[in-house]
Every structure is written in C-alpha cells, then in structure tokens.
Amino acid sequence: MKLLGIDSSSLVASVAIVEDDVLTAEYTINFKKTHSQTLLPMMDEVAKMLELDLRTVDAIAVSGGPGSFTGLRIGAATAKGLGLALKKPLIHVPTLDAMAYNLWGSHALICPMMDAKRNQVYTGLYHCREELEIVKSPCAMDILDLIEELNQAGQQVLFLGDGVPVYGTELERRLKIPYGMAPAQNNRQRAGSVAALGAVYLKKGQTVLAEEFQPEYLRKSQAEREREAQAGKEKGE
C-alpha cells in the first residue's frame, strides 16, 4: 500500500510517500514561500528521487484543516487535481490529528496548538500511546480557556505547533500542571504523519472521491467576518 501525503495547512509545506508502513521520502519546508510555488515542485522532486510513477499510489492523504485558509485551499486544490488526474481516492486527515500522530508513543496528553490569531488557537487533545485517541475534538478556542481546561484535567501535557511560541508566555505563567514542548523534528506539521495516519484510515475504508473533498476550516475567514460585519453596519444604518 502506497500513499502520497500532503500538508499545507500552515507556513509549513510538506509532501511524503509512505509505502507498507515505511516512510520512503519526506520533503518539508518551513519558510515564507507560497504553497502554490512549492507543493508541485516538491512532489516532482520526491517522485524523481524515488523514481516513482505517481499513478502507482493507492490514495492521496491530505491535511484537511483547520489551518490557514489559503494554505488549505491550495492543498485541497492540489490533491483534488491529482486525484482526478490519477483516478485515486483522497483521504481527509484532520490537521491536528496528524500533528498529534507526530508524537506516537507519548504517555502525556498531547495538545497541538495552531495560532488562530486574536488570542485563539486551533487545538484538540489526544492520547497516542498505541493508537490515536481523540480526547477533545479539534476546535477553535481562547488560549486562556484552553489553559483552564488543561489545569482542570490535571494531566501532564506535551505541546506542539506554531501556537506554542506565540502563547508560550501565557502557558508558563498560568499552567499549574507538568508540561513539555515537542522537539524541533516533531513540533510542526509533517506530511509523513499525514500519510501514515492516512494509511490507517485507508484500511478502514475512510476515503472520499476527489471531487467531493472539502477542507474543514472550523470558523469563517477574516475576510468573511469583515464582510458580515460591514453588512451588519449597513443594515443598521
């Protein structure tokens, strides 16, 4: 079983190939380039290095959100285009689930955090000792509410994601429980984890047709909120 993994849900752009439970290639960039510039060249390079014909993959696993609205749309469009061209199914892998899967084997409560601006994070809570267990489903929430919930849970927590450096001061000031931060190689999105978790979902038959794939944004974009606010003002005048 061979899967192509794609993640463009944040500043990170990442593609990977997992075949029969082996990560055969992973190309990850965490730099200020648009994903429309990076994803296809990265895929071409991976295919070239592996002498891989993409028609031989069984499915395409794609990070399906939450995350950057632009990044998710680019990733979805790339995956859908490939899926249609290659006649392959897509596997929707929630971004936060895949991030938690980075830390498979941890005995701590895993808390991925993506900066959602305005003192909010996209987050969820997981155990991943032997398999991924969702303790709290992905959501957008205020950082202070998350800290309060973690203090009440009373478990050791392991954090990862781009929300950690943004809200690290608040975590240090307010957390009353033991906690740690994931190391550099595992603290951001990785297409290897998307593909590996996608393989688990594929075995369960959890695929979608390429034309039916849609990212999950969890909340409206900034532009949509501003348009609604402006429409409300105009209606009230």
Residue 4: the pLDDT is: 98
Residue 234: the pLDDT is: 56
Partners of 232 in the beta sheet?
A: none
Domain residues for 200?
A: 2-94+188-222
- Give the CATH number for residue 211: 3.30.420.40
- Cis amide bond preceding 66, omega within 30: yes
Chunked mean pLDDT (size 10), the chain, 237 residues: 97 97 97 90 98 98 97 97 98 98 97 97 97 97 98 98 98 98 98 98 98 90 53 56
Residue 221: the pLDDT is: 55
Shared domain for 131 and 24, answered yes or no, is no
Shared domain for 89 and 6, answered yes or no, is yes
Structure tokens at 29: 């960039």
Of 220, 189, 216, 204, the closest CA to residue 92 belongs to 216
Shared domain for 110 and 88, answered yes or no, is no
Residue 32: the pLDDT is: 85
Sheet holding 157-160, edge to edge: 133-142, 120-127, 109-115, 157-160, 179-181
Shared domain for 85 and 192, answered yes or no, is yes
Q: Is the pTM of this model over 0.75?
A: yes
Inter-CA distances, 175 with 95, 117, 144, 157, 168, Å: 25, 20, 10, 10, 10
Residue 220: the pLDDT is: 64
